[in-house]
Amino acid sequence: MSGDVVRPHFSSFRRRFSARQTVVGSFIKTPTTHATEIFGALGYDFVVIDEEHAPIDRAMTDVMLLAARASNLAGIVRVSSDDPAKILSCLDCGATGVLVPHVATVEKARAVAATARYRGGRRGYSGSARAGAYGGTPMWSLVDEQDASVCAIAMIEDPEALDQIDGIAAVDGIHGFFIGRGDLTVALGAKSSADASVKDAVIRIIAAAKKAAKPVCVMVASAAEAKDFAGLGASAFIISSDQGQMRRAAAQTLTDFKTLV
């Protein structure tokens, strides 16, 4: 991390997220460790390794999570589905949490919560993976440590989820929500995420989360947009992605070059 400010340990992410402290991250879509290290060095709080919309497999996720830990960065994985085997593999590799797409029913929310925890849940046990220090953590210490720190975040991105949003928000073991404005925009047939139908959905989701005393995460394009969402009640922000930020910087550099040369 640059500067003199000491960032909290990555294992405190769930506590900080649940307390609705402001946390900032970015999607990682390029299957390398380098972007993760860069975001960690800059002082971001977390990254979301994108298995759903990027060519990232379990082996690559494993080393990217290693890079996150080495950079004192919370490594969240957006899994490609709510398949318990996918969630388990990420948690065994040492993910700080999972971002699970299309959590549209109370039943699915309960299943996700159960998959992500041992006590009161159905997470498969193994002490031999990175999460268990390769056999170095006693069984019940590992159970308690993981259950206290693993963060399960539900993506709300389907219109049908809005009909059950209060029930979904109340599910024990779901620690927060990510509002998938892109999917909502497409599913609602809106022209853009600025349309009234999408804005109404966002307000309903945030209201349900607030009622359940749980945090909300949104993807934003700028600090100005983040400020608007913070005013509504969001506290966690994903700023673009490694690819998006690289494209924006590269485009600006090329524009500057053509202007000067």
Is a pLDDT exceeding 90 seen at residue 2? no
Task: State the pLDDT at residue 5.
Answer: 56
Task: State the pLDDT at residue 1.
Answer: 41
Task: State the pLDDT at residue 3.
Answer: 46
Residue 176 has phi, psi (to 5 degrees) of 180, 180
Marked catalytic residue, from 9, 34, 53, 175: 53
Please state, in angstroms and rounded to a whole number, the distance separating the CA atoms of residues 14 and 94: 14
CB proximity list for 103: less than 8 A, separation 6 or greater: 82, 109, 112, 154, 155, 156, 161, 168, 174
* Three-state DSSP class for residue 119: coil
- Binned at pLDDT 50, 70 and 90, residue 261 comes out as confident
Tokens of 212: 């359940």
Task: State the pLDDT at residue 6.
Answer: 75
Yes or no: say if 40 and 72 are a contact pair by the CB < 8 Å rule.
Answer: yes
Mean pLDDT value across residues 74-89: 97
Please state, in angstroms and rounded to a whole number, the distance separating the CA atoms of residues 216 and 233: 7
Biggest alpha carbon–alpha carbon distance for the chain = 64
Neighbouring C-beta atoms of residue 73, cutoff 10 Å: 27
| Span 184-199, pLDDT tens digits | 999 999 999 999 999 9
* pLDDT above 90 as % of the chain: 95
3-state helix, strand, coil in the chain (%, to 5): 50, 15, 35
| Span 124-136, pLDDT tens digits | 999 999 999 999 9
Amino acid identity, position 198: V
Neighbouring C-beta atoms of residue 155, cutoff 10 Å: 22
Mean pLDDT value across residues 66-95: 97
CATH number of 10-260: 3.20.20.60
> Tokens 């709510």 appear where?
82
| Span 147-184, pLDDT tens digits | 999 999 999 999 999 999 999 999 999 999 999 999 99
Look up the pTM and report it.
0.94
Does residue 175 carry a catalytic annotation?
no
Is a pLDDT exceeding 90 seen at residue 7? no
| Span 17-48, pLDDT tens digits | 999 999 999 999 999 999 999 999 999 999 99
Domain boundaries, the chain: 10-260
Give 199: exposed, middle or buried? Use CB within 10 Å, 0-12, 13-18, 19+.
middle
> Tokens 């994985």 appear where?
77
| Span 203-250, pLDDT tens digits | 999 999 999 999 999 999 888 899 999 999 999 999 999 999 999 999
